[in-house]
Amino acid sequence: MSDDSIVTEITPRQRIELNKALQSRSIIKKVVKKSVIPTNLFYDYQYFFIITNKVHQTYRINGLASQNIYHMPWVINNVKIYNPKIAEVFEWIMGDELFAVTEKTRMYNSIILDVFFEKFAAKFAWENLKTYFPEGYALLKIKKQPYNIGYTKRYGWYGAFPSPRLPFYLHPYTKFNVGDTAAITRLNRFQDTLAAAYKKGCFLFEYLKKFSKCEVQAMAGAQGKISESEFNILKDVYPGIAQFDYRQVQILNVDGNRNVYSHWLLFPNNWVMLQSYTGKLATVDANLKFTGLVSIDAFNRSNNDSGMFDSTGKRIDRMK
């Protein structure tokens, strides 16, 4: 389902609320700035002009263009340029005479979607849960609107449903549709399991408190579990986990920084395994005894099976 169709599914009252926000100069200014000056830029196109004037002097203008709206910001002779007309001229020369019209439409749609997802997606999803699935809402242990959920008529609700017993960065994720009360029950049990693990204590949870933008995603149900075959491989390397059932192992995905992502496994005894990471992990606090990962700070690449740690952060040796 496309983002455009998600917006078309909102109720008439919600549409009025969205349209009112789209009339706000301050909101639109903020969104347009975000669209025109994005955080991530990928320059996939390279253009150049060769201009000859009346006295036969020739000039070459090099331009790098992104996939952003109007390809902005352009980089011409190492200078960033925020002028949509440049894109229109380049595309017209390349033969795309409709670019000016289609790109303006793309910009308007992008603004609408940005405002919707930033201001209203979670709010409207929560409202729809109360309206379309009141028995599911009644079963939920949380009554405060989550900040990171969504809804579509086809797929139902999806996203993070935090628990007051869990820290701000630990988010139980799930998805369910109208009538699926069993999924709500599983979510409640899952929140209980995570709360018990957090209360028991684990160096990873303490470590992550230091990062305000950090988010730990824990998926309820089968999607948050490893396979039996994967578990069998791990217990051959770390016999200390052989006592557990593979269905008791929980996958934790740590995100929150666009350059860093890590993938962990949480075991019933609160051991954790760092299976993989991408980017450069933050410097480790020595007080947390995170000694096994000190050297990782020097890397800036993807890595696999970086080691097992007990609940205090001590490295668990692999079997030879």
Model pTM?
Answer: 0.73
- Together in a domain, 1 and 113: yes
Q: Do strands 215-219 and 156-160 pair parallel, antiparallel, or not at all (unpaired)?
A: unpaired
Nearest Cα residue to 219 out of 252, 258, 192, 263: 252
Domain that holds residue 35: 1-120
Q: Is 184 inside any structural domain?
A: no
- Together in a domain, 212 and 105: no
Q: Is 143 inside any structural domain?
A: no
Cα(16)–Cα(21) distance, integer angstroms = 9
Q: Is 86 inside any structural domain?
A: yes
Distances (CA, A) of 128 to 149, 150, 160: 11, 10, 16
> Are 48 and 62 within 8 A, CB to CB?
yes
**Which residue, of 101, 120, 139, is where some domain finishes?**
120
Question: Residue 279 has what pLDDT?
Answer: 56
Backbone angles phi, psi at 191, to 5 degrees: -60, -40
Q: Is 312 inside any structural domain?
A: yes
In the block, tokens 């496309």 appear at: 2
Provide the number of structural domains found in the chain. Answer: 2
Q: Is 183 inside any structural domain?
A: no
**Which residue, of 120, 153, 174, is where some domain finishes?**
120
Q: Is 161 inside any structural domain?
A: no
Q: Is 20 inside any structural domain?
A: yes
Cα(64)–Cα(75) distance, integer angstroms = 5
Q: Is 69 inside any structural domain?
A: yes
Nearest Cα residue to 279 out of 306, 299, 255, 265: 299
**Which residue, of 120, 146, 176, is where some domain finishes?**
120
* Per-position pLDDT tens, the chain of length 320: 445 555 667 899 999 999 999 999 999 888 887 766 665 556 566 667 777 888 888 777 666 666 778 877 777 767 777 888 888 888 888 899 999 999 999 888 888 999 999 899 999 999 999 999 999 999 998 888 888 899 988 889 998 898 888 888 888 989 999 999 999 999 998 999 899 999 988 888 877 777 667 788 888 877 788 889 988 888 888 888 888 999 989 988 887 655 557 788 999 998 988 877 665 554 444 343 444 443 333 333 444 556 788 888 787 877 64
